[in-house]
A and B are shown apart, each in its own frame.
Chain A
Amino acid sequence: MREFLLGLRLLLGSGRGARARFWLMTLGSSLGVCCLALVLTVPAILDARDGRAGGRDPVVFAGKPASGRTLVLERTDPHGSRPFNRVFVARGTRDTPGPPPGLDALPAPHEVFVSPALRDQLRREPNLKGLLPGTVRGTIAPAGLTDPNELYAYVGATPSDLIHSGATRALKSWGSGYAPNPAVDPSTLDILRFTMATLVLLPLAVHLSVCARLSAASRNRRLAALRLLGLSAKGTQRVNAAETVVAALLGAVLGIGEYWLLNQAMARTGLPGLKWYPGDGVPTAGTLALCLLGCPALAWFVGRASARAAATNPLSTRRTAIPRTPRIWGGLLLVTGLGIVIGYSLTGLTAHPADSSGINALLVPLGVLLTGLGLVLSMPLLSYLMARRLARSRSLTLNLAMRRNEVEPGSAMRVVSGLVLLVFSASLAQGVLVEESQITRSSSPSQEYGIPLAGLSAHQQQQLTAIPQLRAHALVMEPPFDPDAEGSRIPARALVATCGQLKSLVRHVEGCVDGKALRLTDPAVTPEPVAPSTVRLRQGTRHISLKITVPRQRALFTGYDVTSVDTPVLFPPSELPPGAVPASGTLILAGASDPATVRAVLDRIGAISPTADVDPVGVNVDGLQQISVIETLLALGMVMGLVVGAAAFLVSATDRAVERRSQVTALALIGARPRVLRLVQCAQVVLPLAVGLLLALLTGKLAETSYLVTGGGETFWDGAGVPLLAAAAGTVLLAAILGTLPLVGRRIDPELIRRD
Chain B
Amino acid sequence: MNTTEVLAARGVDLSYGSTPAVRDAHLSLAPGEVTAITGASGSGKSSLLYCLAGVLPPARGEVWFEGRPFSTLDDEEISTLRRERFGFVFQYGELLPELTVEENTALPLRLAGRRKAPALKAAAEVLDRLGIADLRERRPSQISGGQSQRVAVARALVHRPSVVFADEPTGSLDSANAGAVLEEFLSLARSQGTAVLLVTHDAGVAARADHHWTMADGVLSATGAAA
With A319-B141, A322-B141, A662-B94 already in contact, the answer to whether A750 and B55 are too (CB < 8 A) is: yes
| Segment touching B, from A429-437, A670-678, A700-708 | A670-678
Tell me, in angstroms, the Cα distance from A541 to B103 when the chains sit together.
Answer: 104
Choose among B92, B108, B116 the residue that contacts A754 (Cβ–Cβ < 8 A): B92
Tell me, in angstroms, the Cα distance from A396 to B104 when the chains sit together.
Answer: 12
Interface size on B, residues (CB 8 A): 38
Tell me, in angstroms, the Cα distance from A354 to B94 when the chains sit together.
Answer: 60
Q: Is the CB of B98 within 8 A of A672?
A: no
* A753 contacts partner chain B, Cβ-Cβ < 8 Å: yes
Contact mask B56-87 → A, CB, 8 Å, 1/0?
10000000000000000000000111111011
Which residues on B sit within 8 Å (CB–CB) of A667? 96, 107
Tell me, in angstroms, the Cα distance from A754 to B87 when the chains sit together.
Answer: 18
Residue among A408, A662, A748 with the highest chain B CB neighbour number at 10 A: A748
* B171 contacts partner chain A, Cβ-Cβ < 8 Å: yes
Q: How far is the CB of A194 from chain B (nearest CB, A)?
A: 40
With A403-B99, A670-B82 already in contact, the answer to whether A753 and B94 are too (CB < 8 A) is: yes
Tell me, in angstroms, the Cα distance from A676 to B103 when the chains sit together.
Answer: 16
Closest to B145 in A: A318
Closest to B114 in A: A396
* A320 contacts partner chain B, Cβ-Cβ < 8 Å: yes
Tell me, in angstroms, the Cα distance from A396 to B117 when the chains sit together.
Answer: 12
* B131 contacts partner chain A, Cβ-Cβ < 8 Å: no
Tell me, in angstroms, the Cα distance from A399 to B104 when the chains sit together.
Answer: 11
* B155 contacts partner chain A, Cβ-Cβ < 8 Å: yes
Q: Is the CB of A671 within 8 A of B91?
A: no
Which residues on A sit within 8 Å (CB–CB) of B110? 396, 399
Tell me, in angstroms, the Cα distance from A404 to B97 when the chains sit together.
Answer: 8
Which residues on B sit within 8 Å (CB–CB) of A403? 96, 98-99, 103
Interface size on A, residues (CB 8 A): 31
Choose among A396, A670, A756 the residue that contacts B171 (Cβ–Cβ < 8 A): A756
* A202 contacts partner chain B, Cβ-Cβ < 8 Å: no
Which residues on A sit within 8 Å (CB–CB) of B26? none
In B120-164, the 8 Å CB interface with A consists of 139-142, 155
Choose among A394, A399, A666 the residue that contacts B90 (Cβ–Cβ < 8 A): A666
* B29 contacts partner chain A, Cβ-Cβ < 8 Å: no
* B13 contacts partner chain A, Cβ-Cβ < 8 Å: no
Q: Is the CB of B94 within 8 A of A672?
A: no
Q: Is the CB of A322 within 8 A of B142?
A: yes
* B185 contacts partner chain A, Cβ-Cβ < 8 Å: no
Which residues on A sit within 8 Å (CB–CB) of B83? 670-672
Closest to A676 in B: B111
Tell me, in angstroms, the Cα distance from A673 to B111 when the chains sit together.
Answer: 8
Q: How far is the CB of A410 from chain B (nearest CB, A)?
A: 12
Closest to B80 in A: A671
Q: Is the CB of A400 within 8 A of B141?
A: no
Tell me, in angstroms, the Cα distance from A508 to B91 when the chains sit together.
Answer: 88
Q: How far is the CB of B14 from chain A (nearest CB, A)?
A: 12
Closest to B51 in A: A750
Choose among A663, A666, A671 the residue that contacts B112 (Cβ–Cβ < 8 A): A671
In A735-756, the 8 Å CB interface with B consists of 748, 750, 753-756
Residue among B84, B88, B97, B142 with the highest chain A CB neighbour number at 10 A: B97
Q: Is the CB of A394 within 8 A of B115?
A: yes
Tell me, in angstroms, the Cα distance from A360 to B142 when the chains sit together.
Answer: 52
* A669 contacts partner chain B, Cβ-Cβ < 8 Å: yes
Choose among A320, A669, A672 the residue that contacts B53 (Cβ–Cβ < 8 A): A669
Tell me, in angstroms, the Cα distance from A407 to B79 when the chains sit together.
Answer: 29
Residue among B56, B98, B108 with the highest chain A CB neighbour number at 10 A: B98
* A147 contacts partner chain B, Cβ-Cβ < 8 Å: no
Q: Is the CB of A666 within 8 A of B141?
A: no
Choose among A318, A322, A662, A670 the residue that contacts B87 (Cβ–Cβ < 8 A): A670
Q: How far is the CB of A54 from chain B (nearest CB, A)?
A: 62
Q: Is the CB of B55 within 8 A of A669?
A: yes
In B167-226, the 8 Å CB interface with A consists of 167-168, 171
Choose among B81, B112, B139 the residue that contacts A321 (Cβ–Cβ < 8 A): B139
Q: How far is the CB of B53 from chain A (nearest CB, A)?
A: 7
Q: Is the CB of B111 within 8 A of A671?
A: yes
Which residues on B sit within 8 Å (CB–CB) of A671? 79-84, 86, 108, 111-112
With A670-B155, A671-B80, A671-B82 already in contact, the answer to whether A321 and B97 are too (CB < 8 A) is: yes
Which residues on A sit within 8 Å (CB–CB) of B115? 394
Q: Is the CB of A755 within 8 A of B46?
A: yes
Which residues on A sit within 8 Å (CB–CB) of B171? 756
Which residues on B sit within 8 Å (CB–CB) of A400? 96, 99
With A321-B97, A394-B115, A406-B98 already in contact, the answer to whether A670 and B92 are too (CB < 8 A) is: no
Choose among B50, B80, B98 the residue that contacts A750 (Cβ–Cβ < 8 A): B50
Which residues on B sit within 8 Å (CB–CB) of A748? 55
Q: Is the CB of A672 within 8 A of B92?
A: no
Which residues on A sit within 8 Å (CB–CB) of B155? 670
With A750-B46, A753-B94 already in contact, the answer to whether A669 and B111 are too (CB < 8 A) is: no
Tell me, in angstroms, the Cα distance from A10 to B56 when the chains sit together.
Answer: 33
Q: Is the CB of A754 within 8 A of B91?
A: yes
Q: How far is the CB of A309 from chain B (nearest CB, A)?
A: 14
Which residues on A sit within 8 Å (CB–CB) of B81? 671
Closest to A319 in B: B141
Tell me, in angstroms, the Cα distance from A404 to B90 when the chains sit together.
Answer: 21
Q: Is the CB of A407 within 8 A of B46?
A: no
Q: How far is the CB of A412 from chain B (nearest CB, A)?
A: 13
Choose among B53, B82, B94, B111 the residue that contacts A663 (Cβ–Cβ < 8 A): B94
In A437-479, the 8 Å CB interface with B consists of none
Closest to A407 in B: B98
Q: Is the CB of A672 within 8 A of B46?
A: no
Choose among A321, A670, A750, A755 the residue that contacts B111 (Cβ–Cβ < 8 A): A670
Which residues on A sit within 8 Å (CB–CB) of B167? 753
Q: Is the CB of B107 within 8 A of A670?
A: yes
Q: Is the CB of B56 within 8 A of A666?
A: no
Q: How far is the CB of B190 from chain A (nearest CB, A)?
A: 21
Q: Is the CB of A669 within 8 A of B91?
A: no
In A276-320, the 8 Å CB interface with B consists of 318-320
Closest to A750 in B: B50
Which residues on B sit within 8 Å (CB–CB) of A399? 103, 110, 116
Residue among B80, B84, B88, B110 with the highest chain A CB neighbour number at 10 A: B110
Closest to A672 in B: B111
Tell me, in angstroms, the Cα distance from A321 to B97 when the chains sit together.
Answer: 6
With A669-B88, A671-B86, A672-B111 already in contact, the answer to whether A755 and B96 are too (CB < 8 A) is: no
Tell me, in angstroms, the Cα distance from A671 to B75 when the chains sit together.
Answer: 11
Which residues on A sit within 8 Å (CB–CB) of B168? 755-756
Residue among A394, A669, A754 with the highest chain B CB neighbour number at 10 A: A669
Q: How far is the CB of B126 from chain A (nearest CB, A)?
A: 15
Q: How far is the CB of B111 from chain A (nearest CB, A)?
A: 5
Tell me, in angstroms, the Cα distance from A156 to B84 when the chains sit together.
Answer: 90
Tell me, in angstroms, the Cα distance from A219 to B63 when the chains sit together.
Answer: 40
Which residues on B sit within 8 Å (CB–CB) of A750? 46, 50, 55-56
Choose among B56, B88, B91, B111 the residue that contacts A756 (Cβ–Cβ < 8 A): B91
Q: How far is the CB of B203 from chain A (nearest CB, A)?
A: 17
Q: Is the CB of B141 within 8 A of A321?
A: yes
Q: How far is the CB of B120 from chain A (nearest CB, A)?
A: 11
Tell me, in angstroms, the Cα distance from A394 to B167 when the chains sit together.
Answer: 32
Closest to A662 in B: B94
Q: Is the CB of A394 within 8 A of B116?
A: yes
Which residues on A sit within 8 Å (CB–CB) of B80? 671
Q: A residues near B, CB below 8 A?
A: 318-322, 394, 396, 399-400, 403-404, 406-408, 662-663, 665-667, 669-673, 676, 748, 750, 753-756
Complex A-B: 22 CB contacts under 8 Å: A396-B110, A399-B103, A403-B96, A404-B98, A407-B98, A408-B98, A662-B94, A665-B94, A666-B88, A666-B94, A667-B96, A669-B82, A670-B83, A670-B107, A670-B155, A671-B83, A671-B86, A671-B108, A672-B111, A673-B79, A750-B46, A755-B46
Known: A665-B94, A676-B111, A756-B171. 5 other contacts (CB 8 A): A406-B98, A407-B97, A670-B83, A671-B108, A754-B91
Closest 4 CB pairs of A and B: A671-B83, A666-B94, A321-B97, A671-B82
